[in-house]
Amino acid sequence: MGAVGGVVVGAMGLAAESPYVFSLPSTLPLLRYAIRLDPLSAFFVLVISLVGVAVSVFALGYVREFYGRHSIGALGALYNAFLLSMTLVVLADDGFFFLVVWEIMSLVSYFLVVTEHEKAEVRYAGFFYLIMTHVGTAFVIVAYLVFYQQAGSFSFEAFRNPSEPLPQGLRSVVFVASLIGFGTKAGIVPLHVWLPYAHPAAPSHVSALMSGVMIKTAIYGMVRVYFDFLGGEFPWWWGFVILTVGAVSALLGVMYALMEHDLKSLLAYHSVENIGIILMGIGAGMIFQSYGLTQLAALGLLAGLYHTINHAMFKGLLFLGAGSLLYATHTRNMEEYGGLIRKMPWTAFFFLVGAVSIAALPPSNGFVSEWLTFQSLFLSFQIPDLLVKMMLPIGAAMLALTGVLALACFAKAFGISFLAMPRSAHARNAREVPPAMRVGMAGLAIICVLLGVAPMVVVPAIDRVTAPLIGVSIADKVLAEGGLALMPMGVGSASISTSVLGILLTLLVPVAWLMAVVIGGKLRKRFYRTWGCGITLKPRMEYTATGFAQPIKQVFSTIYRPTVKLETDLLEESRYFAKRMHFETHIEPVFQKYLYDPVVRSLNAVADRLRVVQTGSLQLYLSYIFVTLLILLLWVR
Amino acid sequence: MIESALIILSQAVAALLVSPFIVGLIRKVKARLQCRRGAGVLQPYYDLLKLFRKDVVVSTNTSWIFTATPYILFASTLTASLLVPIFLSKVPINFAGDVIAVVYLLALGTFFLILAGLDAGSAFGGMGSSREAIVASLTEPAMILSIFAVGLTAGSTNLSTIVHKTALLQDIVTDPPPHLMAFVALFIVTLAETGRVPVDNPATHLELTMIHEAMVLEYSGRYLALVEWASALKLLLFLTLLSNIFAPWGIATEAEPSWMALGVLVWLAKVSGLAVVIGVIESMFAKLRLFRVTDLLGVAFILSLLAVVFFYILRV
Amino acid sequence: MGAIHPDIASQMVDLCAALLLLTCFAIIAQRRLSACVDLFALQSAFLAVTAALVAFLTGIHHIYIAALLTVIIKVIVIPRILKKVIERLNVTRELVLNVNIPPSLLICGALVILAFYITQPIISLGFLLTKDSLAIALAIVLIGFFTMIARKKAVTQVVGFLVMENGLFLGATAAAYGMPLIVELGVFFDVLVAGLIIGIFTHRLQDTFDSVDTSKLTELKE
Amino acid sequence: MGLALIVLIAAPLVAGLSSLGVRTRRSMEGLQCAHAVVLLAAMSVVVMNVAEGSVITVGILLRADALSAFMDLMLAFVGATGLLYALGYMGEEVIRGHVLHRRYKRFFCLFNLYLFAMLLAANVDNIAMMWIAIEGSTLSAALLIGFEKTKAALEAGWKYIILSFVGIALALFGTVLVYYASEHVLGVSMEALRWEELYRVASDLNPTALKLAFVFVLIGYGTKAGVAPMHTWLPDAHGEAPTPVSAMLSGLMLNLALYAVLRFKSIVDRTVGVDFTGPILLVLGLLSITIAAIFLLVQRDYKRLFAYSSIEHVGIALVGFGVGGPIGIFGGLFHMLNHALAKSTAFYAAGMVLLRRGHKAIERVTGLVRQMPLVGGSMMLATLALAGMPPFGLFVSEVLIATEAYGQRPWVAYVFLCLLAVAFATLLYQVSRMAMGEPVEEDIPVTDRTRRFTTSALVANLAAMGYAGTHMPGFLRDLFIPMTRFFGVIVEIP
């Protein structure tokens, strides 16, 4: 529960003028255990800790799921180690130390993922995750090596102002390396493949941390490298690449999410989507930065960071909700839920809050950050370069599509899981979860709402983070109408005030009710079965998640490449009545099939080829030595 | 302060009052084109009244979502309509939300409507919900882009700013082509969003062809009234957007009572005109198959995209 | 090196070294196992002679001891062991070779040339007396090595290994005028033990696989 | 101080010979434990003294400088835990009747002689004597590998004998060449073979001779170090030898062979400069990593698996020495130390699995963590350490090596990291299959007596592993600085 302390530290750091620094030397060369708390780290510490607190509370109840089957002690220890390592990652002030804690973070999370390693798919997920993240780390190492080469030391201070500035080529190497390195952790398309396996495999409270927070450390890494180390001077294509990657990740993430019926993998895919949105904000910021439009740059970055904290909150909340469902029904398959809103009203309500937030519906927090992203994309018309100018609105269109698909997806998730009739015995026997878990969810839900309706508090806080990176503070400009409204570009430009919208909405609901009463008099209700064309409705007749997503799959079939298999065996008597029908449909995992499998296959092929090296023949072995000897001798001579 | 409050109130009232009339008008036009006398244009008002008086039947499967949705839907739509300049170019609370906010407010309503559709547990509701979802997701990008295209001229997505500047033709940069394309795009979007032919047929009674109607199939009494009213309001809202963004002339640019009165009249004329057009279209075209709708909306998307591109091309 | 003229002395040493080399070729050309062992014994004898010669010419006396040890161990003991092993074998000659005899002779010739080519730059360091012996030593080492590759039977491989040893020893004594005595002793001890262990193992191989054809040992792979 | 050194070296000899006369298991255990204690004590005295900067010499024969002390540290520590483990392991074999008491005694005799030979090789002040000692270790190792009289063991033993004898012979030729070169400066005498003298006169030795000598030495000792392409005997030997022996082979003998190579490198560098040895070591190192990384994937036998991982790590260390520079050299040495610890741990765990399961097939072993938490856990930890995960030292050394490599030849760093990633994937793929999942039923219980020994060995190693990875004690630091100085560089350690 050290997370509580983290909250304090984070808040302190945001409030502080100058960064706190302290460092204790290690006994290994080049390695310094250095800690530095500047606004950026503080912001992320805050994010981590807020989620950490809520999740820890939730975990108190949730781990009951594992009693007997797993050692709670180990689980708890790893869990706290995980929190600690994440905090250290964002606090580290030394490249080497960063790498160490970064790897430890991956390692601990790997252990957490494979908590239930009896299941083959969990093992696969964990292994896949470990490999991917390790490869990512290799790229991060490359990026840092470049810095080290210039700076002659691993300390971030030296990275910031190296002895001689990096040549453009190397800067681009750093850019690409860290994009791949951190992108693997963040789960950008096409490096996201591990994410939908690993996040669901972990215990739900851990998934909440991984999906809500861990992937944010990657965002931290990118911001740190691009804006801090590289001093925020980039060619325009960097920002453009980031933006494109973000847009693609967002769109594909939500599209694959729509096809998922395992609630947790669905949420995992949404993490891909939201990372994409965050990157769109940051990318836009970078583009503006490279054209010297610092205020807009600050705006884009602000949007990105705002969405970062928002996503941390509502994704954490949603994963906790999924955890509660799992806890209550012991299944992750949405098709087996249904009608749970009556069984577990609290969970349902919190989940709804999360759903509204992630679907970016006003006045939720998701709406604010997505709106800011929209604005920063819209304001691209100030960019001199025509091509870029024309591209950014397309990004906006993709963002819009993403948003509404997310809406559809969570309409599905919530509707199928909580509404209508129970679809299985699991759902019928579900019970509301213990208070500890509810409290955890409630905490996050409240934070979500606050982040939504009180941007006037959040924006200045984040501005403290962006100002040192970009060099301009825009809080006072963005906040208009006495802080009620957000107004990116000063008077006359667009602005929103979620608080006012919230007030209006909450006012108008009773108004509508009053009106109804005034016109229609007292409400008289009659309860009756749903009309089912005369026959009584069974759960089997309900619309399934698959059915719900069917039209979308149809429309975007070029992307999904669905394969449908329908086998029917008919009655002997008549060809018109089927005895039983078996229908199954799959969507093709494009990236795995065309990107990853070939690599693995070729590796195996090479290994098979090389077996002949080690045939077991002694004479052959001797001849290896002989030949090597002769070659070397001749080389020396 | 009082004044702005009054304006807000009057705007809300006006919108609420006019919306059923538009629906009635469209029905009338269609009837006439089908050589029927048709019900009077005031028929929707009677319907609403009647529905409010009737008592409601609620399915035993449903939860509070089902009962809450009508109110939320109504509230969100009304909120949206408060952000749109109707007869006064500068809405007092324009700072509260721009056009994107309007879109998302409507989306909020849609979201709950979809949930409500699923809530009853009948197959029709689910079908309607899923179709609504796909239609909405296809319209959204086109909508945002066309709005961008227009917003670019005024350099802002704040509706009041757009309308005001366009009305006064001051410090805006505009050319006919992008505007025209954006207009067509937004018009198609309107048809799709408000569930008109050729995307959806509000008059159908064959469940399998329904989209919007299927979703609200379980509603009755005042709930149905609220939902119907909300959708009428939504329709009006879009027509207002169309008319006031692209042809804001005649709208009151100052909060002078006389100007505002004129503004109201002009606005009525404009939206009625659009309503007639819609009526005509509805009787000219047949409803498209669901999976053909994509083509139509694709056209809308391309148009709006072209609008943006053209805007820049013509600038350089 | 009093009485004899340096040139003649070096001639003599080189002659012995050359004889060593010749016996190598003989071993390569020989299929019968026992004959191989005999040839090895002969070669060791030549080696001992060379060492003694060097000791005599240079007056470094502990090389005599080395020569003596060579005679004892390499001319008498180890050939005995190998002979014993061979007696227990069911085969007396190599029927199939990895590399046939004519090509292997050619290769050995090439190896000799190679050896001279490689050592040529450091020959100049050598003492006048034994200047070519380093090259010859290297040649013998390489040829021994090659024998181990070219042959299949455990025994011939052992012989090959021992030939390498001889080459080394030639290098140590002739080229470098012998290592310090203690080192020599150590080396000889090791060689002896090595011979013993190899003997043990060939016995075991014979028992378990009832053949000493090492090309059959391919159970362990990958 | 000389006394401590003598004790350190003589203890195994004494213990070995006397263990032939031991009657019962219990007394054998007493003897060996005492021996282990003596080893550790003597080692710590030696190391401490050397760390203070003195060089311990005994006559003209023994000499312990920083590098030797470093080797002593590894040899004595891993040797001691190895003894403990062997007591447990072989004891179990005796209880099960696989091994008669006579051979039990012989095993410990050979085991100790093996230790003795290695300790001698590490501390002797004479290139030829070092060769003799290493040859001795080879001989005893050969008998140990063939100890279990199975066909496979025999084959492995034979291959080991032939290959490593050839290698060692070549090494001797290299030694002779060095002598050949040095006696021109120092005259035909013992002096011409002593490290100290060689260091002194290194600069005026004949370059070409030393180059040739280095090639021979590298090939020769490289064969024993399992450097590709001379590595071919290694998987067989590790796979078939009794597990304590495998641990010693992997943990100690490879390092010893590397030590020999390094000694010569340090001289040759002084004569002809770094640019000669560097590239050779680099290429061979990368080759070793590649081969190991790929062969890890096709292994079906977990002991062979760890054997290949040893090849990989030798390669990594070689890359470190190849790129040179203070960081590179330090990385290489540090890597040797941590690898010795991690790999012996891995083998101890593997041996326990072998005892409990009775077979070495990877795919038939599952659920170790669940069934035997300590063994499975330590195997997993050791594997993660070997795969280069923090908080273990191998991560540090690998990053350091990559850093230095990038500084000198960026492409090396890229290739290096890429290969490491592959090796990481392949190794973890195999081991995670074993460590996780539902445990299989078949399980042969081991006695508590056995478990006591093996557990203590495991725990000691794990502790050392974790410690060495995260924090470097002062005396080690004082060893590393002069060690790097051998190679003409000075690492600065905070």
What does the alpha-carbon distance between residue D357 and residue D301 come to, in Å, rounded to a whole number? 13
Do A285 and A207 lie in a common domain? Answer: no
Least confident of A135-149, A543-557, C177-191, D257-271: C177-191
Do A482 and A544 lie in a common domain? Answer: no
pLDDT of C124 > 70? The answer is yes
Whether residue C3 lies within 8 A of chain A, CB to CB, comes out as: no
Asked whether the beta carbons of residue C221 and residue A622 sit closer than 8 angstroms, the reply is: no
Q: Quick: pLDDT tens for A60-113.
A: 888 877 776 677 778 888 888 898 899 889 989 899 999 999 999 999 999 999
Residues 71-130 of C with CB under 8 A from A: 98, 114, 117-118, 121
Residue A248 lies in a domain: no
Q: Which residue of A has its CA nearest to B223?
A: A516
Q: Which of A616, A623, A625 sits opposite C218 (nearest CB)?
A: A616
Q: Quick: pLDDT tens for A479-496.
A: 877 677 787 765 557 788
Do A561 and A614 lie in a common domain? Answer: no
Chains A and C contact (Cβ–Cβ under 8 Å for 3 or more pairs): yes
Q: What angle do CA C66, C71, C76 make, to 5 degrees?
A: 145
Residues 6 or more apart from A636 whose CB is under 8 A from it? D208, D211, D212, D215
Residues 419-438 of D with CB under 8 A from C: none
Q: Give the mean pLDDT of chain A.
A: 87
Asked whether the beta carbons of residue D421 and residue A135 sit closer than 8 angstroms, the reply is: yes
pLDDT > 90: what percent of chain C? Answer: 20
A115 burial level (CB within 10 Å; 0-12, 13-18, 19+): buried
Orientation angle between helical segments D207-225 and A618-636, nearest 10 degrees: 160
pLDDT of residue A35: 85
Asked whether the beta carbons of residue A25 and residue D428 sit closer than 8 angstroms, the reply is: no
Do A611 and A556 lie in a common domain? Answer: no
pLDDT of residue A566: 78
Domain hosting B121: range is 2-315
Confidence of residue A210 (pLDDT cuts 50, 70, 90): very high
Do A330 and A293 lie in a common domain? Answer: yes
Partners of residue C221 in chain A, C-beta under 8 Å: 611, 614-616
pLDDT of C130 > 90? The answer is no
Asked whether the beta carbons of residue C180 and residue D149 sit closer than 8 angstroms, the reply is: no
> Are B290 and B210 a contacting pair, CB within 8 Å?
no
pLDDT of residue D381: 93
How close A626 gets to chain C, by Cα (Å)? Answer: 7
Q: Which of A342, A389, A508 sits opposite B63 (nearest CB)?
A: A342
pLDDT of residue A590: 81
Least confident of A7-11, A187-191, B52-56, D34-38: A7-11
Q: Which of D392, D403, D404, D408 to mutate to test the interface with A (most CBs of A within 10 A)?
A: D403
pLDDT of A512 > 80? The answer is yes
pLDDT > 70: what percent of chain A? Answer: 94
pLDDT of residue C126: 65
What does the alpha-carbon distance between residue A396 and residue A394 come to, in Å, rounded to a whole number? 5
Whether residue C189 lies within 8 A of chain A, CB to CB, comes out as: no
pLDDT by residue for chain D (494 residues), tens digit each? 789 999 999 999 999 999 998 889 899 999 999 999 999 999 999 999 999 988 899 888 899 999 999 999 999 999 999 999 999 999 999 999 888 999 999 999 999 999 999 999 999 998 989 999 999 999 999 999 988 888 889 889 999 999 999 999 999 999 989 988 888 888 878 888 898 889 989 888 889 999 999 999 999 999 999 998 999 999 999 999 999 999 999 999 999 999 999 999 999 999 998 889 999 999 999 999 999 998 998 899 999 999 999 999 999 999 999 998 899 999 999 999 999 999 999 999 999 999 998 889 998 888 888 888 899 999 999 999 999 998 899 999 999 999 999 998 999 999 999 999 999 999 999 999 898 888 876 788 888 889 999 999 999 999 999 888 778 888 888 899 999 988 888 887 77
User: Structure tokens of D249?
Assistant: 């082979």
**Residue length of chain B:** 316
Residue A219 lies in a domain: yes
| Domain locations in chain C as residue ranges | 6-208
Partners of residue D218 in chain A, C-beta under 8 Å: 632
How close B245 gets to chain A, by Cα (Å)? Answer: 15
What does the alpha-carbon distance between residue B173 and residue B153 come to, in Å, rounded to a whole number? 5
DSSP E strand boundaries for D333-482:
none
β-partners of residue A94 are A155
Asked whether the beta carbons of residue A138 and residue D208 sit closer than 8 angstroms, the reply is: no
Q: Which of A504, A506, A523 to mutate to test the interface with B (most CBs of B within 10 A)?
A: A504
Mean pLDDT of A324-345: 90
DSSP string, chain C: --SS-HHHHHHHHHHHHHHHHHHHHHHHH--BHHHHHHHHHHHHHHHHHHHHHHHHHH--THHHHHHHHHIIIIIIIHHHHHHHHHHH-S--B--S-SS-HHHHHHHHHHHHHHHHHHHHHHHTTS-GGGTTHHHHHHHHHHHHHHHHHH--BHHHHHHHHHHHHHHHHHIIIIITS---HHHHHHHHHHHHHHHHHHHHHHHHHHHHHSS-BGGG--SS--
Domain end marker among A486, A521, A556: A521
Chains A and D contact (Cβ–Cβ under 8 Å for 3 or more pairs): yes
pLDDT of residue A188: 93
DSSP E strand boundaries for chain B:
56-59
Q: Which of D146, D155, D169 sits opposite C165 (nearest CB)?
A: D169
Rounded to whole angstroms, the maximal C-alpha distance in chain B is 63
Do A345 and A412 lie in a common domain? Answer: yes
How close A401 gets to chain B, by Cα (Å)? Answer: 5
Q: Residue B252 gets which letter from DSSP?
A: B
pLDDT of residue B173: 64
Q: Quick: pLDDT tens for A395-417.
A: 999 999 999 999 999 999 999 99
pLDDT of A22 > 70? The answer is no
Q: Give the mean pLDDT of chain C.
A: 84
Do A206 and A294 lie in a common domain? Answer: no
Q: Which chains touch C (3 or more CB pairs under 8 A)?
A: A, D
Mean pLDDT of A376-395: 86
Partners of residue D391 in chain A, C-beta under 8 Å: 100, 104
pLDDT of C1 > 50? The answer is no
- Number of domains chain B contains: 1
Asked whether the beta carbons of residue D297 and residue A607 sit closer than 8 angstroms, the reply is: yes
Partners of residue A480 in chain B, C-beta under 8 Å: 95
pLDDT of residue A323: 93
The phi-psi region of residue D7 (left if phi > 0; otherwise alpha if psi is between -120 and 50; otherwise beta) is alpha
pLDDT of residue A2: 45
Q: Which of D154, D168, D426 to mutate to test the interface with C (most CBs of C within 10 A)?
A: D154
Closest CA to B80 of B234, B282, B309, B276: B234
Residues 410-429 of D with CB under 8 A from A: 413-414, 417-418, 420-422, 424-425, 428-429
Q: Quick: pLDDT tens for C144-178.
A: 999 999 988 888 888 898 999 899 888 888 777 77
Q: Quick: pLDDT tens for D170-199.
A: 999 999 899 888 888 888 788 888 988 899
What does the alpha-carbon distance between residue B142 and residue B150 come to, in Å, rounded to a whole number? 12
pLDDT of residue C142: 94
Whether residue C104 lies within 8 A of chain D, CB to CB, comes out as: no
Domain hosting A58: range is 1-233
Residue numbers in chain B where pLDDT is lower than 70: 171-174, 207, 316
Asked whether the beta carbons of residue C218 and residue A619 sit closer than 8 angstroms, the reply is: no
pLDDT of A24 > 80? The answer is no
What does the alpha-carbon distance between residue C220 and residue C217 come to, in Å, rounded to a whole number? 8
Buried b / exposed e over A288-314, threshold 16 CB at 10 Å, is bbbbebbbbbbbbbbbbbbbbbbbbbb
pLDDT of A4 > 60? The answer is no
β-partners of residue A35 are A22, A92
Q: Which of C94, C97, C113, C145 to mutate to test the interface with A (most CBs of A within 10 A)?
A: C145
**A562-570 and A578-587: which strand pairing?**
antiparallel
> Are B294 and A555 a contacting pair, CB within 8 Å?
yes
How close B115 gets to chain A, by Cα (Å)? Answer: 5
pLDDT of residue B166: 85
- Number of domains chain A contains: 4
Q: Which residue of A has its CA nearest to C150?
A: A619
Whether residue B193 lies within 8 A of chain A, CB to CB, comes out as: no
Residues 451-490 of D with CB under 8 A from C: none
Q: Which chains touch A (3 or more CB pairs under 8 A)?
A: B, C, D
Asked whether the beta carbons of residue A616 and residue C220 sit closer than 8 angstroms, the reply is: yes
Chains B and D contact (Cβ–Cβ under 8 Å for 3 or more pairs): no
